[in-house]
Structure formats: C-alpha cells, structure tokens
Amino acid sequence: MRATTLDASAGQTLRQDIGRRMAITVGPILVSLVLAGCVLLAVGVNPVAYYGFVIERGLLSPLGLQQTLTRMAPLLFIAAGLIVAFRAGMWNLGGDGQFLLGAVTAAASAPLLVQVLPGWLALLTAFLMATIVATVWSLVPALLRAYQGVNEIITTLMMSFLGVSLANVLVKLVFLDPGTTVPQTRTLPVADRLPRLFDTTITSGLVFGLVAIVAVHLVMTRTAFGLKLRTVGANPRAAVHAGLSVPLLTVAVFAISAALIGMGGAIDIIGVQGNVRADWNPAYGMAVIPVVFLARMNGFAAIGFVFLLSVLSIGGESAARRLGVPQTFTLVLVSIVLITLAVAEYLDHRYQQARRA
C-alpha cells in the first residue's frame, strides 16, 4: 500500500516525526475550517459568527459541554467499529444502517423489557439484542466479500440504504407506540435509562464508549488476533500464504465492526434518546470516517477527534438554529476535511521523497 493511502503504520518516535504528524493533522483541520467558512460566506452567513456559536455552545457553556460529552458515546462506538474494519483493509460504509437497526432494536425491546426484568438486566438484554441485529445485518456483505469476492464498498452502501429504510418501516409499522399519534417507538422512561455521571447530565454511556475504543485499540495493536486482522488488511495474499483463513477473518471483521456500531445505536437509545422517532437518521456513520482517518486509525487519537466532532455536532445544532444554516453544512465540512487530509498526506509523502532523494 502506498504511503498516500492514509495507512496507519506506526512511525518512529522521533520528535521531528511527532511534529510532522501534528502538522499534517492540524493543518488540514485549519484549512478545512477556512474553506468551509468560505462556503458560509458564499451563502451569506458570517463564518466567524457561526464558528463562534459552535465553540460557545459546544465547548464553553457548561450545559453544552455536557451535551458534547454525551454525544461522544455513540460516536466512540462507531469510531471503534470503523477502526476494526479499516485496519483490516475493509470498507464498512454501512455504518448508518447498522447504527439505526441497532437503535431501533434497542428502542423496541428496552421499554418492554424493563417491565419484566430488573433495570440493569433489561438494558443489558436490549443492548445485546441490538448488537446481534447489527451483526446479522453485516453478514450479507461479509459473506459476499469473503466467499464470492464481491466488492464490499458497494454491498455495505446498499445494505445501509436498505437498513435505514427498514428501520423506518419497523418504527412506522411494527414497533409503533400505540399511546401517541406521533410515529415513534415506545419510550424508555428517563428513570430506567443509563445513569448519569455524578451530578452532571453526562451519560454513563461515555464510559462504555471509552472502554470500547481503548479495548479495540489494544486488541488491534497488542494481540495475535489483531495482528492477524492487520495482516489481512496490509496484504491479503500474504495472509493466505501465512496460513490465515482470510474468508473467516473477513466475516469476523464485519461482525465485530457492525456489532460495535450497533452498540453505538443501542447506547444512544438506552442512555439518551429513549425512543426512535420515524425518519430519525443522524447519519453519524459517514461523519465519523474522517475522524478515524485523522486519528490514523489510532484509538487514543480517535478519542480526541471524536470530541472535536462532538463539539461541532452539538455546537452546529445551536448555530444552525440561530443563524438558519441547515445541518447539512456539517456534511460539507466533513467532506472538505477528508479531501484536505488526503492532499496533506500526499504533499507530506512527496516532501519525504524529495528529502530522501
């Protein structure tokens, strides 16, 4: 794999190298903010005011900061799921479908389960069911890729479109709350949701998210299983040669990746939302992709970037209301980050080549 392809090879720990990595990480972010600001200017919105609202709400106000930390919980799970897939060289672009199906499963089961089971067991059961549903949903692309060699980029995308629609159908037809006229699932009472941390409004889901992403990082970098997955990612042919069962590992990668993303959906429901409304699709799956690339698929770095995305997400919602900028602006920003990041990696690669020559 060429160096321009955003790979996560662990670099030397020279100070110069760290500085270089900082430059090709912070640089693209700043350039992206400026470019996205130009887009805002073009549609007649003051970018300084927009970013000001984002920082004020997402980072500086106590309530906003707690919301930001709460928003991190599902995003961390998604980032963990994507790290597993990308490190193993597989493109799981079906995050949105897996996330929503996990969320709907949790929302459908948790309110009923709490009536018959003790609180923690009900939440755990709902959480596990969501995980299983998301995993099963990833089986089709996984098997197609593992045993038929069908490109997983396309299949996961297709399954994502299907999953989002299916989640909507389930909410509107199957799990509809008979108690309200609003099309939504039954609501998990606030008292039964995951506890808040200390005296704040921050969900304890944040802790689970942090545990998940650190665990994924350690498994991928410190265990034999992680090494196997990374071998498949780096060179599938070499992996076959080394005696690894690539098809089986492929299925495992998809299962783990989708399971983590499904957990993200579940944690958002049993911790924060309590129900799923019809046509709810936060589309976190796509927004987290650049985060994982910025972090070079490193779990610890990803925590930091998930925090930034979270600030942007919460602050953006507030800025959207105050300045009338639709949330789709986040998509524009995310896309500019992806492009500038890839260009920065390319320039860095060229610079290194020139220095060596």
Partner 1 sequence: MSGFFSETFLAALLFGAVTAAIPLLLAGLGEQMSEKAGVLNIGIEGMMITGAYLGFVGAYYSGSFWLGFLSGAAGGVAVAALMALLCVRIGLNQIVIGIALTLGFEGLTALLHHFQFSKSYPRLGAVQVTPIPLLESIPIIGPALFRQHLIVYLSIAMVGLMVWIYRRTQLGLNLQAAGDKPAALDVAGIDVIRTRTIAVLFTGGMAGLGGAFLANVGAGLFIPFITNGAGFLGIVLAMLARGRPVWVLAGALIFGVCLSMTTAAQVAGVNIPTDVIQMLPFLAVMAMLVLFGRRASLPAALGIPYERGVR
Residue nearer to partner 1 on the CB measure, 128 or 153? 153
- Check binding of 328 to partner 1 (CB under 8 A): yes
Residue 13 found at the interface with partner 1 (CB under 8 A):
no
Query: For partner 1, which is the closer residue by CB, 128 or 143?
Result: 143
- In this complex, which beta carbon is closest to partner 1, that of residue 141 or of residue 209? 141
Q: Enter the tokens of residue 325.
A: 């900028």
**Binding region for partner 1 (CB under 8 A) out of 12-20, 50-58, 294-302, 324-332:** 324-332
- Binding to partner 1 (CB under 8 A): which residues in 52-111? 91, 93
- Nearest CA to 255 out of 94, 348, 136 is that of 136
245 phi and psi angles, rounded to 5 deg: -85, 95
C-alpha torsion sign, points 183, 134, 194, 298: negative
Q: Which stretch binds partner 1 (CB under 8 A): 15-23, 115-123, 143-151, 243-251?
A: 143-151
Find the shortest distance in angstroms from Cβ 161 to partner 1: 5
Separation between Cα atoms, residue 94 and residue 343, nearest integer Å: 25
- State how far the Cα of 160 lies from the Cα of 206, in Å rounded to an integer: 25
- Whose CA is closest to 127, among 144, 145, 107, 142? 107
352 binds partner 1 (CB under 8 A): no
CA gap 298, 200 in Å, rounded: 29
Nearest to 89 by CA among 151, 44, 147, 167: 151
Residues in the chain: 357
Q: Which residues pair with 313 in a beta bridge?
A: none
Q: Which stretch binds partner 1 (CB under 8 A): 14-22, 62-70, 212-220, 287-295?
A: 287-295
- Which residue, 173 or 191, has its beta carbon nearer to partner 1? 173
With a CB cutoff of 8 Å and minimum separation 6, the contacts of 26 are none
Residue number with CB closer to partner 1 (32 or 273): 32
Could you say which of 140, 197, 246, 308 contacts partner 1 (CB under 8 A)?
140
- What are the angstrom distances between the C-alpha of 321 and each of 53, 248, 315? 10, 48, 10
Among the listed ranges 12-20, 46-54, 306-314, 341-349, the one in contact with partner 1 (CB under 8 A) is 341-349
Tokens, residue 9: 């090879």
Please say which residue, 227 or 286, places its beta carbon nearer to partner 1. Answer: 286
What residues line the site for partner 1 (CB under 8 A)?
A: 2, 4-6, 39, 43-44, 91, 93, 140, 144, 148-151, 153-155, 157-159, 161-162, 165-166, 168-169, 172-173, 286, 289-290, 293, 325-326, 328-332, 334-336, 338-339, 342-343, 346
